[in-house]
Amino acid sequence: MIENKKIIVALGGNAILSDDPTAGAQIEAIRQTCDRLADLVEHHNQLIISHGNGPQVGNLLLQQQLADSEKNPALPLDTCVAMTEGSIGYWMQNEMSSILKKRNIDKSVVSLVTRVEVDKDDPAFTHPTKPIGPFLTEVEVAEAKEDGAKYIEDSGRGYRKVVPSPKPVGIVEFDTVKQLVENDVITISCGGGGIPVLKTEDGYTGVEAVIDKDFASEKLAEQVNADLFIILTGVDNVYINFNKPNQKKLEEVSVEELKQYIGEGQFEPGSMLPKIEAAVKFVETSDHGKAIITSLSNLDNIHQGAGTVVVKHKNNNEKVESLNVEMHESLITSE
């Protein structure tokens, strides 16, 4: 297991919400997740946890719309993001604290409602792309009758509402997160990508959007100078030519290679692409850090090189081995 590192782990919202949307089922999923993450704590790593909230904030918006009335008006999207950041963080804080206590690990856990600054001129505000909420059929979309709402087909699983997803400019509370981590406090931050805010003369004001949690997590990883950025998703590895006869699993991969694959359109926008882009950006901006994309079930094996490991450059041994193979093939050809 990796030891003595400052690690940011980004969890997807779908890793928290199973087919059962009840609070009890989500808490149980979080408990299992925290049990895996506690292994990192046990090996003396400083841990920052971030998480998605796409399914949760979408469900909350539906509840708001159903209850909307003059006396009980629906709350705006940024407030719903804050509410789900608070509720998921609370569940995670409770479960992690209980697990650490059972393991006789004396560490504090705190969930921090986090604001993330965005740019008012970000083109995302006129081109919504971020899926939130439950999967709907075409019939359910037609019956939704929500003015101005946009729905897209999502990964063959149905249609989901999409909202603006601007890129993060900076984490407002990053200095607080840094201080907590330096004092060995396990910190849950940037939940749901953080609450999107615009900077004003008087401070900050909320804006209706959902920030991609991988981009927000990457920005936080930059600002706190993390050693390792782990993005947990539904697969053990990233693939190119995914679901094709010539699909290939990516293990250790350089930034240069990934940029080439991005240019080829290898990764699905709104799905694997933001994870790849976030990992590349972190590795590019970090002096010593690396990024890993893998599944929660594969977390125990990352010290052995499991998952897709993103590095600035491939190690020299691989380059030498590749060169030797090329020279050998050249000699055979010449003979």
User: What tens digit of pLDDT does each residue of 29-50 get?
Assistant: 999 999 999 999 999 999 999 9
Q: Is residue 213 annotated as a catalytic residue, yes or no?
A: yes
Position 138 confidence tier, pLDDT thresholds 50, 70, 90? confident
The domain defined by 6-118+171-332 folds into Carbamate kinase (3.40.1160)
Mean pLDDT score, 112-121: 97
Q: Is residue 259 annotated as a catalytic residue, yes or no?
A: no
Mean pLDDT score, 186-209: 96
The conformation of residue 159, written as its DSSP 8-state character, comes to E
Position 326 confidence tier, pLDDT thresholds 50, 70, 90? very low
Alpha-carbon span 112 to 300, nearest angstrom: 27
Please tell me the predicted confidence (pLDDT) of residue 111: 97
Q: Is residue 71 annotated as a catalytic residue, yes or no?
A: no
Give the residue extent of every domain in the chain.
6-118+171-332
Mean pLDDT score, 83-111: 97
Please tell me the predicted confidence (pLDDT) of residue 240: 96
> Would the CA dihedral through 14, 18, 22, 25 be positive or negative?
negative
Place of tokens 């920030």: 211
- The active-site residue out of 6, 12, 52, 130 is 130
Q: Is residue 130 annotated as a catalytic residue, yes or no?
A: yes
Place of tokens 């081995």: 321
Q: Mean pLDDT over all residues of the chain?
A: 89
Position 318 confidence tier, pLDDT thresholds 50, 70, 90? very low
- The active-site residue out of 6, 161, 219, 275 is 275
- The active-site residue out of 6, 161, 213, 219 is 213
92, two tokens = 């995670």
Taking only the tens place, the pLDDT of each residue in 236-265 is 999 999 989 999 999 999 999 999 999 999
Alpha-helical runs (H) found in the chain = 23-42, 54-67, 77-102, 138-144, 174-182, 213-223, 255-263, 273-285, 316-334
> Considering the entire predicted model, what is its pTM?
0.86
Among 33-42, 112-121, 157-166, 240-249, which is the least confidently predicted range? 157-166
Please count the other Cβ atoms lying within 10 Å of the Cβ belonging to residue 194.
31
pLDDT at 268 over 70: yes
Contacts of 69 (CB under 8 A, 6+ apart): none
Please tell me the predicted confidence (pLDDT) of residue 331: 44
Please tell me the predicted confidence (pLDDT) of residue 54: 82
Amino acid at 179: Q
| 195 strand-pairing partners | 115
Q: Is residue 13 annotated as a catalytic residue, yes or no?
A: yes
- The active-site residue out of 6, 12, 13, 53 is 13
Mean pLDDT score, 76-82: 94
Contacts of 244 (CB under 8 A, 6+ apart): none
In the chain, pLDDT over 90 holds for what percent of residues?
67
Position 323 confidence tier, pLDDT thresholds 50, 70, 90? very low
Position 269 confidence tier, pLDDT thresholds 50, 70, 90? confident
Amino acid at 320: V
C-alpha 239: how far from chain center: 18
Q: Which of helix, strand or coil describes residue 3?
A: coil
In the chain, pLDDT over 70 holds for what percent of residues?
91
C-alpha 186: how far from chain center: 17
Q: Which of helix, strand or coil describes residue 239?
A: strand
Mean pLDDT score, 63-72: 89
- The active-site residue out of 14, 158, 170, 199 is 14
Position 321 confidence tier, pLDDT thresholds 50, 70, 90? very low
Mean pLDDT score, 85-103: 97
Contacts of 226 (CB under 8 A, 6+ apart): 6, 7, 8, 48, 220, 282, 286, 289
Alpha-carbon span 54 to 60, nearest angstrom: 10
